[in-house]
Amino acid sequence: MGIREKQPAPMAPLAGEHRRRFNWAPLAYMWSPTGVLLLFFAGPLFILGYFAFGDRTRTGSGAFTLNNFGSLSEPFYRTVAFDTLFIAVIAMLVIFLISYPLAYFIAFRARGWEIPLLLILALSDELNPLIRIFAWKVVLGREGVINTFLTWTGIVDEPLEWLIFTKFSVIVVLSAGWIAYAVLPIYGAMKTIDVAVLEGAQDLGAGWFTTWRKVLLPLTATGFLATIIIVFVPILSDFAAPALVGGTEGVMLSTVIEEEYLTRGDWGVGSALTFALLLASAGIVWLSYRISNVKRLQTARD
């Protein structure tokens, strides 16, 4: 028998080699967007709070105060806040009345025209918003298209003054400018519905209103929530439409905030108004989420 050669003993691992090195790359990828969000969202909020909750007037001490929010109880600000909510709610109702049937037609009735109609909606929003607003001024103005046609045909003797620089003109411009944004999320929610569900409701004797209320509306609750977030919140804080076609009657909080900052130089009240508008938007989103969640739960139980 031969002599078995001894195998060399394995070398002992050096100190620390058995420890795995922590990979920081995934953590960095994960926190990069969070850092950007904190920088560009939480940062401006901190600045708003600095001016809203501090006495930053020329003769102020800079101490913590709630006087800026107390001034919002004045009749002028209450009136503007009510007008802002009124304009936004009416414009949102008009948008829903137009976008919901349009989304239903594209999703279930357009067939071969589905993609072209979606492209037309997308292209309709490519025009600069300011150009669209000025185009509406040409249509709604005292010597605009509508008034010229009405006086030429003898329907009215004098141009209609309420077509421009009123709440009506602001509602029209806001509704027309945000319809495309409302159609797409509702359309996306409708495309998740099996057509057999709607056909089954009709076979069971449900009319169009019952089918809409019991089947279609609950199943598209997520689309409503997305529409309110995408459309209603920006409408509530819109600046261009009330500034260009609102006049003295269609004033909204956004124009008042701009005046507080740039004209009066009162950054405290302007920041308080901005905070109030932000809290109102958050409340509307939360309420919409609750309503849509209730709709989904009712659908699941049924």
- What would the pLDDT profile of 195-244 be if each residue is shown by its tens digit? 888 888 888 888 888 888 888 888 888 888 888 888 998 999 898 999 99
Contact 88, 235 (CB under 8 A): yes
Contact 160, 150 (CB under 8 A): yes
The one-letter amino acid code at 298 reads Q
For residue 89, the model assigns a pLDDT of 92
28-50 burial by CB neighbour count: b if 16+ within 10 A, else e? eeeeeeeeeeeeeeeeeeeebee
> 54 — phi, psi (to 5°)?
-130, 150
For residue 1, the model assigns a pLDDT of 47
For residue 150, the model assigns a pLDDT of 92
Contact 179, 95 (CB under 8 A): yes
Listed residue (18, 172, 3) closest to 87, CA to CA: 172
The Cα 65–Cα 56 span in angstroms is 10
Residue 15 CB burial class (10 angstroms; 0-12, 13-18, ≥19)? exposed
**Residue matched to tokens 């357009």:** 110
The Cα 155–Cα 78 span in angstroms is 38
Q: Which two tokens stand for residue 135?
A: 């185009």
Q: What is the mean pLDDT of the chain?
A: 83
Residues 75-301: name the CATH superfamily.
Answer: MetI-like (1.10.3720.10)
123-132, 255-264, 272-281: segment of lowest average pLDDT: 123-132
What are the residue ranges spanned by the domains of the chain? Answer: 26-65, 75-301
DSSP 260: I
Of residues 204 and 170, which shows the higher confidence score? 170
Residue 4 CB burial class (10 angstroms; 0-12, 13-18, ≥19)? exposed
